Amino acid sequence: MHQYSIDAVLQCLSEGCAEVEATFKRALDQFGSLQLDQINRGSWSNVSGSDWIGQPGLLITFQIKQGDVVLALPQSSGCVPDWAYQPDATGKSRLATLAQELSILLFPPEWPVLTSEAKAVTSFETALEGFRRPDESWFVSIPFVASQKKGVLIIGLRCEAATTPTGTSRPDETASKDAKTNALPREGKPLVGDRRTPHANRVLPLLTHSLLRIRLPLEVTLARTRKPLLELLQLCPGAIIQFDKSCEEPLELSINGHVIARGEAVKVGDKFGLRILEMTPPPERYIVLGPRTAKQETQHK
């Protein structure tokens, strides 16, 4: 199997299927259960005549070193919210987080993901114009069931040395296969942007990827104050506690008691949310390095 193959993506999807489903649900508020035993494979010639190709929906694009990977979620699946077509700041953040999390879950650690992007499009056919080369592009469609409604998730890979899906053959797979395997990264305009810097999480060792799944308590602090114990013992229903903090000051976002960001309260549907305005880096500690004194040398000995 070539290192850049649709089968490698499907293998990662199979191993992290539950996490992929949860990622979609967090970002879009609803998703379903992927039916990995009902995958349909094909090249662009098979896809171009499909019903979903002219539909609107959510398109997630990833640029890898030697090609591009796309995920298409048609509007007919019932899982693409209306706000995705004209997202506000909160919606853009949710889509960006969706693309970044999927870039971790769907690809092997050795795949250099250069950029990722999630956006709603009015027609997949126009957005996938660059995939109209059937000798380099392969697609799979994965059915899923959401709220008793059937949908489909399409995954496409365009690569200079793309591997033919299982059960099919390519006429040009001869001696040139080795040359394509060692081909240089594709030149020209990338599908999803011009950034060439990989995501920070792609350079982490494989062993540390499990650390990214650890759940930590995330807290939003309205305000803080100190009161004598006598006043605290006199608290009762209806009592009002006054804080020195202004109503216009930002709220603090903390992880395990450490403030990491500040933001403002927003309404997300019928729930409370926090729009991050600034990140708070941890305090830096500086140690002055210099030559040791005679006393320090004596103590060291």
Q: The domain containing residue 145 runs over which residues?
A: 6-213
Domain for residue 237, yes or no?
A: no
Any domain includes 289: no
Domain count, the chain: 2
Q: Is 76 helix (H, G, I), strand (E, B) or coil?
A: helix
Shared domain check, 187 and 272: no
- pLDDT bucket at 4, cuts 50 / 70 / 90: low
Burial of 20 (0-12, 13-18, 19+ CB in 10 A): buried
Cα separations (Å) of 73 from 124, 129, 166? Answer: 9, 17, 24
Residues 165 and 89 in one domain: yes
Q: 173 and 263: one domain? A: no
Give the span between the Cα atoms of 57 and 72, in whole angstroms. Answer: 7
Predicted TM-score (pTM) above 0.75: no
Same domain for 122 and 80, yes or no, is: yes
In this prediction, residue 127 carries a pLDDT of 81
Return the pLDDT at 118: 92
The answer to whether residues 157 and 6 touch, using CB atoms and an 8 Å cutoff, is yes
Contact 116, 3 (CB under 8 A): no
Q: State the pLDDT at residue 229.
A: 92
Q: Are residues 127 and 174 in the same domain?
A: yes
Pair 82, 174 in one domain: yes
Domain containing 40 — which CATH number?
3.40.1550.10
Task: Give the domain CATH number at 259.
Answer: 2.30.330.10
Same domain, 62 and 22: yes
Tokens of 261: 């960001």
CB 20 within 8 A of CB 34: yes
CA distance 14 to 39: 11
Q: What is the reported pLDDT for 158?
A: 80
Type of residue at 80 = V
pLDDT in the model for residue 251: 92
pLDDT per position as a tens digit, 207-218: 555 676 778 888
| Average pLDDT value over all residues in the chain | 75
Does some domain include residue 298?
Answer: no
Indicate whether 208 and 221 sit together in one domain.
no
Q: Give the residue-averaged pLDDT of 11-16.
A: 86
Q: What is the pLDDT of residues 62-78, one digit of tens each?
A: 988 778 888 989 888 88
| Residue 85: per-residue pLDDT | 92
Q: What is the dihedral of CA 51, 55, 59, 63, to 10 degrees?
A: 60
66 and 194 in a single domain? The answer is: yes
Does residue 97 share a domain with residue 25?
A: yes
